[in-house]
Amino acid sequence: MRAVVQRVRCAEVRVEGVRRADISKGILVFVGVEQGDGRGDVEYIASKVLGLRIFEDETGRMNLSVRDINGDVLVVSQFTLLGDARKGRRPSFDRAEPPQSAREIYAGLVEHLKEEWHLVKEGEFQAHMEVFIVNDGPVTILLDSRKTF
């Protein structure tokens, strides 16, 4: 499972022009489900997302997590995170989990996050979404449950 975590001042997801979810200060998490992902990958990503110390403390150091600041979390599915563009110019998505099983794993991640934190919202799985972001910093962290980078 791959995730891109962005510290945001605010973020919003729209589907067909209709607001699906919005957050204020917190983190936006784009998630791609890879073939073979399971409960361990969900737990790893959820733990990292909620524990990342990417918010500044009173001294200006990135020392606080989203929980520490009582921030929001917005989770958005994005299978293109599994795109492999090493050959040619068109990315291959062979490593992405097929939609039906990816939906279950993604839903498991969202549910796990909601069990651990009360301020979690989500986009719409397998929908064409417009995502509006005011990135704070910018701060962007890449996560991979298989630790390939």
Half-sphere exposure of 73 (CA within 13 A, CB side): 31
| Strand duo 62-64 + 120-122: pairing | unpaired
- pLDDT at residue 149 tops 90: no
pLDDT tens by residue, 8-55? 999 999 999 999 999 999 999 999 999 999 999 999 999 999 999 999
Of 112, 95, 111, 137, nearest to 5 (Cα)? 137
* Residue 124 main-chain phi, psi, to 5 deg: -120, 120
pLDDT tens by residue, 128-140? 999 999 999 999 9
Domain residue extents for the chain? 2-144
What pLDDT is stored for residue 147 in this prediction?
Answer: 87
pLDDT tens by residue, 46-77? 999 999 999 999 999 999 999 999 999 999 99
- pLDDT at residue 105 tops 90: yes
Provide the annotated active-site residues: 78-80
- pLDDT at residue 97 tops 80: yes
- pLDDT at residue 118 tops 90: yes
| Answer CATH for 2-144 from 1.10.3720.10, 3.50.80.10, 3.20.20.70, 3.30.420.40 | 3.50.80.10
Mean pLDDT of the chain: 97
